[in-house]
Amino acid sequence: MLREFWRHGSNFALLLILAASLIAWVGGWVAFASGFFLVGALLFYLTEYSTHRFLFHAAPSRFGWLRYFQHRLHYDHHVEPSRLDLLFLPLWYVLPNLALTAGLLGLVLRNGGQVASLVLGAMFALLYYEWVHLIAHLPYVPKTAAGRWMKRYHLRHHFVNEQLWFGVSNPLMDVLYRTYRDRSGGARSTTARVLYPVAPAPK
């Protein structure tokens, strides 16, 4: 599993960035703030839901080139949920988002250590998200009851109803937005695999 995790998507690049950041911290070149690190992780968990629901599940664009990205980022993952090259977020999506986030935070905070801490916290949270997502889609039974619950929780989004259970690594925002149902809840959807059946294919 670890080999599959590090060879797909942006995961290995994130690992290299985290290693470089650790070297910078040990060398005294960057002063990280643990409180900001935790806030960065929390912000990722709060935005995980909105990104999944409102961006990845957005209606198909009228532009073919943009529909191509929509398919790669999420539509095709619903069609083939076990295909690992479609499961992880691609590098071309993750790095620009991290750079944009760092830039905006830099304009607001004007403190390199605080910005770096926030971004690193978000990166750790992203790696955890990707790990939970991988476990959910592999033919693997987690060792803990919590892990088994998270796996069932995410797979209901794919195989029961794509308009519910948008959280991947935590259910908090599903509860707040009322898109959480217990195991017996949620009507079965006919579009959980093909999100927009009448949408034109990307060109």
Q: DSSP labels for 50-114?
A: HIIIIIITSPPPSSHHHHHHHIIIIIHHHHSTT-HHHHSPPHHHHHHHHHHHHHHHHHHH--HHH
Summarize pLDDT for 182-191 with one digit per residue, the tens: 877 778 999 9
* Nearest CA-CA partner of 123 in 31, 9, 49, 15: 15
Q: 3-state class of 186 per DSSP? A: coil
Cα–Cα distance between 64 and 152 in angstroms, integer? 34
What does the pLDDT average to over 159-185?
Answer: 93
pLDDT tens column, 44-101: 999 999 999 999 999 999 999 999 999 999 999 999 999 999 999 999 999 999 999 9
Q: What is the DSSP string of 19-37?
A: HHHHHHHHTTSS---HHHH
Which residue's structure tokens are 């390199």? 112
Angle, vertex CA 1, rays to CA 158 and CA 8, nearest 5: 70
